[in-house]
Amino acid sequence: MTASVRVCFFRWKWIVYPLSSIFEEFAIKIIKTVKEIQTRSEMLRKEGRVISFVPTMGFLHEGHLALLREGRRLGDDLILSIFVNPTQFGPGEDYESYPRDFEKDFELARKEGVDVVFTPTKDELYGDRFQTHVALESLTKHLCGLSRPSHFKGVATVVAKLFNIVKPHIAVFGQKDFQQLAIIRQMVSDLDFDIEIKGVQTVREKDGLAMSSRNAGLAPEQRKTALCLYSSLVKSRERIQEGEKNASALIQEMKVYIISRFETEIDYISICDPDTLDDVDKIERPVLIALAVKVGKTRLIDNMIISP
Ligand code: PAF
C-alpha cells in the first residue's frame, strides 16, 4: 500500500481511501453558497445517506445543542445552518443587535459532530430581486403572529428556501417556538415537502428559564425577572390540575403576577388549542399556554402543554 492510500473500516464499510479524504471526512466543512451545498446534498442522497438538518440563527446554546444531538442521532450527515434572517424581523425589532458569535458556534458545532455548517450571506439567499414568499393563513393569526405580523412569512419563506437548498430528509426544530414548529409542520404538509419534521422539548436553565439566544441581552436583575414566564406557567399548571377550568380567570392571574415584576411588559398570554392555536374558554382537554413578555428591551417567549 502506498503512503497516500489506506484501507479502513469507516462508517460501516471497508473502504480504500486516499489519506486526504480521510481528513476531509473528519473535518467540519463551512459552505457559503447555495450551489455548493445543493451539489453536496444531491451526492449524499445518491449515496443513500440520510441528511438531517438543524436551521438556526446562530449564537448557539444548550437548546440548539439538543437539536443537533437529535439530528446527529437521526441522520448520517448533519447539516447546521446559521443565518440571521432579516425578513423575519419587523421594523424596529432586534435584527441589527441580534447576538452573533460565529467562532464559538463553529466550535460547538464541531464538538457535536456537525458535518457541514451552511452560512450564506443575505445576498446569497435573497439577491436584490427576490419576490416570492410563503404565507400561511390561520396559524399565523395567533400568538406571536399578532404582534409580529410579517414574522412568520419571513420564517416560512426562509425555511422553505433552506429545505430546497439543503435537501434534508429530516429537519429538527425546538418546541420553545411552538407556533413556528406548528407553522413549519403545516407548510411541509401543504407544500408536500418530503421531509420529516422533528420537535425537541424546550431546554431550560436550572431554575426553569427557557434557553434562548436573547437571554444574553438580560442584565442580572432582568435575568431574575425573566423567570416569571416559567413560574407563571408552573402556577397555572397547578391551578388547572387543582380543577380550574376558566381560561380567562387564569390569564388574569398570570397577568397580575407578571406585571408586578420589575420592567415587564406583556405582549400576550394565551390559552389555546395546541393544534389550531384558537383560544379556549373552558379547559377540558389538553391546552397550550403560551406567552410573550418583554423584560426591559428583551422579548421572551415560553409555553407549556397542560392537561386538566
Ligand atoms: O428558530 C429560528 O432560529 C429561526 O426562526 C429559523 C427557523 C432558523 C428561521 O430563520
Q: Is residue 205 part of a domain?
A: no
* CATH code at position 288: 3.30.1300.10
> What's phi and psi for 48, nearest 5 deg?
80, 20
Q: Is residue 226 part of a domain?
A: yes
> Strand 298-306 vs strand 13-18: parallel, antiparallel, or unpaired?
unpaired
pLDDT in tens, 251-304: 999 999 999 999 999 999 999 999 999 999 999 999 999 999 999 999 999 999
Q: Do 172 and 271 belong to one domain?
A: no
Count the alpha carbons within 13 Å of 142 in the hemisphere toward its beta carbon. Answer: 24
Ligand 1, atom 1, lies closest to the CA of 56
Q: Is residue 257 part of a domain?
A: yes
Instruction: Work out whether the CA dihedral 204, 210, 214, 218 comes out positive or negative.
Output: negative
pLDDT in tens, 138-190: 999 999 999 999 999 999 999 999 999 999 999 999 999 999 999 999 999 99
Contact 30, 117 (CB under 8 A): yes
The Å distance, Cα 24 to ligand 1 centre, comes to 29
Question: Of 61, 64, 133, 142, which one is the catalytic site residue?
Answer: 64
C-alpha cell of residue 9:
473500516
pLDDT in tens, 2-37: 334 444 444 444 455 455 555 555 689 999 999 999
pLDDT in tens, 226-245: 999 999 999 999 999 999 99
pLDDT score for 285: 97
C-alpha cell of residue 244:
380550574
Q: Sorting pLDDT into bands at 50, 70 and 90, what band is 44?
A: very high
Q: How many domains does the chain have?
A: 2
The Å distance, Cα 211 to ligand 1 centre, comes to 14
Angle at 237 between CA 235 and CA 238, to 5 degrees: 65
Domain of 271, in residue numbers: 217-306
C-alpha cell of residue 26:
473528519
